[in-house]
Structure 1
């Protein structure tokens, strides 16, 4: 089990690094949005590229940070019910839910998203809007984001199994580090 726990820690570290790096995209999206608004309403000038980069950054923020959010137990669940159950029952629910729902969904999204990225990359697909951007970077974010989420799902499965075998603690039982 120590080998698997080491794998889970490596996945945790990767998603932690990526999640903190994505935080900078929030600042970039905010700055671009503000500059675009100033250019549009102050100078009467703007371009579709400015709008599209905002959409691309928003998509990147959501998709690339999904694994980070899962690591920090930030996804929505029905805590009114879930919170009343024992830690072992919660671990079983997390384990089964991740295996039956999260991983198949992530696999499907990667499987469906990858050909779209490849086609876009090979064809040099551009936005149909005047002054628009190339499309392959945003299409790459879809399979990449779901791969990161699936990897974190595997890490969470490992941690739940370790807990159920009395070889580890659940992540929410450990003290949260300050950001």
Structure 2
């Protein structure tokens, strides 16, 4: 079990770093949004087009990447929405059982299905070097690649969650909750 817990720690570290990268991408997305709005109003004022579809699409792409790639970080920090009135009343082991079964029965099968269904879609986009139909638009194949990457990261984090749940159930781990020391406080 110690080797598996070490593997879970490595996966958690990877998703922690990915989440921190998404925070910087969120800042970049906001700055691009500010530029887009400013350029549109300033352009209208002086009668010139200062913006481009590329900037708008880049803002959308960043939002999509943040949302998709941030899912594994959110799972790692148990920050997703729970609509389970019983979960909060359970013991640590009871919660670990719910997490274990939920991951095995729902999370992993769904992620594997999406990964499988998106593979050909992304491969075809790369094959034809799919581009936006908008004038000065961006390539679509890089953002489409985010879908299988995001679900692969969710699968990895699901494996980490499984290992930690088994660790709690078997008494090798006190809690599945991440340490406060590896939260976003260091940013």
Whether the TM-score (by the shorter chain) exceeds 0.5 is yes
Find runs of 4+ consecutive structure 1 residues off by over 6 angstroms. none
Q: How far 1:129 sits from its partner (Å)?
A: 1.2
Mapped partners of 1:109, 1:175: distance in 2: 31
1:156 paired residue among 157, 161, 181: 161
Mapped partners of 1:18, 1:171: distance in 2: 19
Asked whether 1:138 is paired with 2:148, we answer no
Kindly report which structure 2 residues correspond to 1:59-98, keeping only aligned pairs within 5 A, or say none: 59-78=64-83, 80-98=85-103
Tell me the TM-score normalised to structure 1 length.
0.95
Corresponding residue pairs, total:
178
| Superposition RMSD in Å | 1.3
1:30 maps to what in 2?
A: 30
Contact 1:159 1:169 in 2 (8 A): no
Listed one character per residue, the Cα deviations across residues 105-149 of structure 1 (whole Å, up to 9, x for unaligned) are 111111112212111111011011111110011000000011101
Structure 2 unmatched ranges of 5 or more? none
Mapped partners of 1:123, 1:175: distance in 2: 45
Asked whether 1:115 is paired with 2:127, we answer no
Q: Secondary structure at the match of 1:134?
A: coil
Q: Secondary structure at the match of 1:171?
A: coil
1:39 maps to what in 2?
A: 39
- Bigger drift between 110-119 and 76-85 goes to 76-85
2:180 paired residue among 156, 159, 176: 176
